[in-house]
Copies of this chain bind each other. A is one copy, B any other.
Amino acid sequence: MNIGDVAERSGLPAKTIRFYEDIGLVKPLRAANGYRSFRDSDLHKLAFLGRARALGFSIDECRLLLALYEDKGRESAQVKALAEDHLRTIDDKIAQLRSMRATLAHLVHCCAGDSRPDCPILDDLAQPAHAPGQAAHRA
């Protein structure tokens, strides 16, 4: 298979596949004309990578997952630990975003959003450090 076919079947852009080869995640063969020649196993790996990436695993985590996947004697505990770790990372990100969201939503709510210049959002950003979302109370 040429890179175009693999791209279509795996759903990954050709650019990304080349990049994955650069960093050693896949090692396709080469045809006489210099074209990359992908085996089914390569396609399989790429699809695996695509799904792991879609779950938010970093490239390094994907590398580990792939190694575990190919190690038929691995302990599932290792995989689970990796996944749980990633889960915590995701939870942290969600928590941070929700905190931002809460503050920002409050400010947006307080802003009239009309043609006048008065704006609690800017006022809040301009204030010295304080508990977020207190702008309205301080006045």
- A contact set with B: CB distance below 8 Å: 11, 44, 47-48, 51-52, 54-56, 65, 68-69, 71-77, 79-81, 83-84, 86-87, 90-91, 93-94, 97-98, 100-101, 103-105, 107-108, 111-119, 121-122, 124-126, 128-129
Contact = CB atoms under 8 A, between A and B. Distances in A.
Question: For the complex, would chain A's binding face be called helix, strand, loop or mixed by DSSP majority?
Answer: helix
Given A55-B103, A90-B101, A77 B122 contact: no
A125 B90 CA distance: 18
A87 B113 contact: no
B125 A76 contact: no
Contacts of A121: 76, 79-80, 83
Total identical chains? 2
B117 A52 contact: no
A64 to B, nearest CB: 11
A74 B113 contact: no
A104 B52 CA distance: 10
Nearest to A52: B125
A29 to B, nearest CB: 22
A93 B87 contact: no
B91 A94 contact: no
A69 B126 contact: yes
Nearest to A103: B55
A117 B83 CA distance: 15
